[in-house]
Structure 1
Amino acid sequence: MPRVLLVENDFSTRRMITLFLSHKGYEVIEAENGEEALDIVEKKGFPDVVITDVEMPVMGGIALIKKLREREVPSIIFTMTAFSDPETMKEAAFAGADEFISKPIDFKLVAIRLDMALKAREFHIEKAQAEHFLKLENTYSSEAITELKDRNRNLASDLLKKIYRLSEHRDDETHEHTLRVGLISEKIGKLFGLGKEETYLLKLAAPLHDLGKIGIPDAILLKPGKLTNIEFNVMKTHSIIGYEILKDSTTDVLKMAASIALTHHERWDGSGYPNAFRGNEIPIGGLIVAIADSFDAIVSKRPYKKAMSLESGFEEIRINAGKLYSPSVVNAFLEAKEGILEFYSDV
């Protein structure tokens, strides 16, 4: 029986949710505030799911989420809030919330979301493990890393694979998409004139461009139709979330990945996000991955669109040189056309 920790200071709301979840077969543990919830976790272990309100006395929901994540509690965390409050959603996502329950509460939708979340439990466990490994990696001094380099080589490789899986698990994008973005970026980097080492790092770092999507609610990330303006503004935060996860790394691959995560949606004419950088304000990794990611998205089928032909994909990138993309990077991309087509022989 899945265990749910329900944190809500309003008694009538809490009882109503508890009765509903109990009827659905969940074991519900109630807490009036974040402090009481932490005490329960310390005494009874972590639950499968935490559902918390935001505004509560003693300790609110955002502070609770942060403390749970600091303790590396791998529970799936739902935040109860109004979808008309994007700032609260953004703050909760940064704190470590996995999903949102909008108020007033639609109980049927809550049941569906809980069922889906529990089916994806393996993902949430791997997410917690990967974040734990990232924290460990950042605590080592440069001297310790040098000393442990050989022993940790396999660990670093395994960690990258885990993070790739996390990045792929939350989206409709496939394992092939993340690999192709890395391979296409490598081809562009070589013809652009990057050095051998930098090109290799780019190949490894590029697939992490959308890692920040692990912080975007499923209701937005997996929505088959067009996003509202509020939803799109939340979606755009994935570039910042990815950067925040990766930015303090001491390894060259994850340093480059942090830069790419932040800048792969910036555009040459300044129309991108999150910082509206333009031209050469955008680092080369971001300029290259912007093209690789866009091209693969154009020629790939998605639930909300049909795939365009490969020739149409190349033409779409070409006509946007000097607008959305760096002209010199586009030239390298077009020069790499024959090699890039090899990645789509089975498509």
Structure 2
Amino acid sequence: MMDIPGSPTILVVDDEPRNLRLMEALLIPMGYRVQLVENGEAALELLEKISPDVILLDVMMPGMDGYEVARQVKSREKTRSVPIVMVTALREVTDRVKALEAGADDFLTKPVDKTELTARVRSLVKVKAYHDHMTNYQKELEAAVERRTRDLKMAMSRLEVAALDTVYRLSMAAEYKDEDTGAHIKRMSNYSAAVARRLGVGENTCTRILHAAPMHDVGKIGIPDRILLKPGKLTPEEWVIMKQHTTMGGRILEGANSPHLRLAEIIALTHHEKWDGSGYPRGLSGRKIPLVGQIVAISDVFDALTSRRPYKDPFSYEKSFAIIREGRGTHFAPHVVDAFFAVEKQIREIKEKYQDEDPSAFVALAGL
């Protein structure tokens, strides 16, 4: 082979050494690199190592003929795009049709005319070059899209971390006046995710519940301290004002683009609704209460029962669990109560784990 760096490579396959030498003598002056092999098996073996721009293939060869070589070349992903020129003395139409069906792209008739050879090879070298260019362009485009997508995902991830941190701090601001509220929103959000998962809610939605549940009482920002922190029982007039934290929270979160905040709006509005319709603000009952509202309701009540509040000391596990059971079918959805007790071990673990007031713990909790 005559090696001309940077030049197109022509693979010549012929069982006649004189034909190989002739082709080499014709092609090298045209500026091509030439590879010569004497049979089809050797050609296929060489194609594992090189990627020619054109194959000049004799048809009538002992062993594997040109038709079979062409079929195998076109069946391989690596060589499928390489143009094949059948060099043959056969002139019958049926022979040429058979060659086309095997994968031939063009023909040269023996004895080969130099002018015809030049035209065929130059044309097909350009075809192969264009194909390679488009293939490389497609790969570069796909790589660029992949890079941009990866960069976008990283940017979105950073934005989500910032958004969740903001959410947590907004939730803390709403409940900052209560005792133990930092730990409260971490516990009740984890209770909610555990119950949702037990109910068969998809993992993405469970994660959103984990992030959205802390905003359940964001409307408390608008409740006066004299009512929010009152150690005794609220008067009917004060209770009317207190209940407004649900609709205030809904208005604060209304119209958000974030799926977490849209879910938080539903939670803020419905976590005080009761299964029997005696809850607020809308008096919804049964299945009319969104499932996420039902889930957060039981999580919020359980943590309130087991936590110290301005108006009460914490209840024991036994008393708190008993109150939840008593509320099955009245305050709480029966199937949600069942799911809650099915994960009782997790509930206890969460209660014991999240006792601190570190704001970063909530974001770390989300795995971010």
Report what 2:247 is aligned to: 240
1:308/1:269 Cα in 2 relative to 1: closer, same or farther (>3 Å)?
same
Distance in 2 (alpha carbons) for counterparts of 1:150 and 1:173: 30
1:177/1:221 Cα in 2 relative to 1: closer, same or farther (>3 Å)?
same
Instruction: Select which of 260, 264, 275 maps to 1:253.
Output: 260
Match of 1:345, SS state, is helix
Report what 1:341 is aligned to: 348
Match of 1:248, SS state, is coil
Distance in 2 (alpha carbons) for counterparts of 1:339 and 1:174: 20
Report what 2:237 is aligned to: 230
Equivalent positions of 1:42-61 (< 5 A) are none
Report what 1:320 is aligned to: 327
Counterpart check, 1:292 vs 2:310: no
Match of 1:324, SS state, is coil
Runs of 5+ unmatched residues, structure 2: 1-151, 356-368
Distance in 2 (alpha carbons) for counterparts of 1:146 and 1:236: 40
- Please state how far the C-alpha of 1:288 moved relative to its aligned partner: 0.3
Instruction: Select which of 300, 311, 320 maps to 1:304.
Output: 311
Report what 1:263 is aligned to: 270
Report what 2:208 is aligned to: 201
Equivalent positions of 1:19-38 (< 5 A) are none
Amino acid corresponding to residue 346 of structure 2 in structure 1: G
Please say which structure displays the higher CA radius of gyration: 2
- Whether the aligned pair in 2 keeps the contact of 1:172 and 1:222 (CA below 8 Å) is no
Distance in 2 (alpha carbons) for counterparts of 1:161 and 1:303: 22
Amino acid corresponding to residue 243 of structure 1 in structure 2: G
Match of 1:272, SS state, is coil
Report what 1:219 is aligned to: 226
Equivalent positions of 1:15-164 (< 5 A) are 149-150=156-157, 152-164=159-171
- Please state how far the C-alpha of 1:155 moved relative to its aligned partner: 2.7
Distance in 2 (alpha carbons) for counterparts of 1:197 and 1:228: 42
Distance in 2 (alpha carbons) for counterparts of 1:158 and 1:236: 27
Distance in 2 (alpha carbons) for counterparts of 1:188 and 1:248: 27
Amino acid corresponding to residue 196 of structure 1 in structure 2: E
Instruction: Select which of 188, 192, 199 maps to 1:192.
Output: 199
Runs of 5+ unmatched residues, structure 1: 1-144
Counterpart check, 1:272 vs 2:279: yes
- Please state how far the C-alpha of 1:307 moved relative to its aligned partner: 1.5
What per-residue deviation string (whole Å, max 9, x for no partner) do you get for residues 142-191 of structure 1? xxx99963552343133112212212213335211111110000110010
Amino acid corresponding to residue 193 of structure 1 in structure 2: G
How many equivalent residue pairs?
A: 203
Distance in 2 (alpha carbons) for counterparts of 1:239 and 1:232: 12
Aligned-pair identity (%) = 42
Distance in 2 (alpha carbons) for counterparts of 1:274 and 1:220: 18
Report what 2:288 is aligned to: 281
What per-residue deviation string (whole Å, max 9, x for no partner) do you get for residues 253-297 of structure 1? 110100000000000000000000000100011000110000111
What per-residue deviation string (whole Å, max 9, x for no partner) do you get for residues 212-234 of structure 1? 00000111111111111111100
- Whether the aligned pair in 1 keeps the contact of 2:212 and 2:263 (CA below 8 Å) is yes
Report what 2:177 is aligned to: 170
Distance in 2 (alpha carbons) for counterparts of 1:301 and 1:151: 36
Amino acid corresponding to residue 312 of structure 1 in structure 2: K
Distance in 2 (alpha carbons) for counterparts of 1:151 and 1:292: 29
Amino acid corresponding to residue 264 of structure 1 in structure 2: H
Amino acid corresponding to residue 272 of structure 2 in structure 1: H
Distance in 2 (alpha carbons) for counterparts of 1:260 and 1:183: 15
Moved over 6 A (4+): 145-148
Amino acid corresponding to residue 249 of structure 2 in structure 1: G
1:281/1:146 Cα in 2 relative to 1: closer, same or farther (>3 Å)?
farther
- Please state how far the C-alpha of 1:326 moved relative to its aligned partner: 0.2
Q: TM-score, normalised by structure 1?
A: 0.56
1:150/1:328 Cα in 2 relative to 1: closer, same or farther (>3 Å)?
closer
- Whether the aligned pair in 1 keeps the contact of 2:230 and 2:310 (CA below 8 Å) is no
